[in-house]
Amino acid sequence: KNQVEQSPQSLIILEGKNCTLQCNYTVSPFSNLRWYKQDTGRGPVSLTIMTFSENTKSNGRYTATLDADTKQSSLHITASQLSDSASYICVVSDFSGGYNKLIFGAGTRLAVHP
């Protein structure tokens, strides 16, 4: 069964600190892996997209890594800001249907405190 699991479920950090969120997946066939940020009550917004051949990708203070052999990914947030408070969702794409069908994790809820 295709699954995406994220840890931790929730995280509280102080403003300015760094943090790393984890994602493990069992999706096959694997096409690409995405990280989304979702503010409460809003739709998800893409942060990064990585194909199986990419090991790391950055978007400002966000850096995602991918190990396609172990089927693990991480999202590292540097110098956190209050506006980083949101849910971060790991999404793996399965192309078996001829299009990128997204399979979402449950997300990590991040709270950045002053």
Kindly state the tokens that stand for 64.
């995602």
Which of 24, 49, 71, 78 touches other proteins by CB under 8 A?
49
Span near other proteins by CB under 8 A; candidates 16-24, 64-72, 77-85, 97-105: 97-105
Which of 24, 31, 59, 85 touches other proteins by CB under 8 A?
31
Q: Is 35 in the site for other proteins (CB under 8 A)?
A: no
Q: Which is nearer to other proteins, 78 or 85 (CB)?
A: 85
Kindly state the tokens that stand for 84.
């980083």
Q: Is 43 in the site for other proteins (CB under 8 A)?
A: yes
| Residues 25, 104: Cα–Cα separation, whole Å | 10
Kindly state the tokens that stand for 4.
């995406």
- According to DSSP, residue 53 is labeled T
Q: Is 11 in the site for other proteins (CB under 8 A)?
A: no
- How, if at all, do strands 10-14 and 108-113 pair? parallel
Are the beta carbons of 106 and 6 closer than 8 angstroms? yes
Which of 20, 51, 55, 58 touches other proteins by CB under 8 A?
51
| Residues 64, 42: Cα–Cα separation, whole Å | 22
> What are the residues binding other proteins (CB under 8 A)?
4, 31-32, 34, 41-46, 49, 51, 89, 91, 93, 95, 97-107
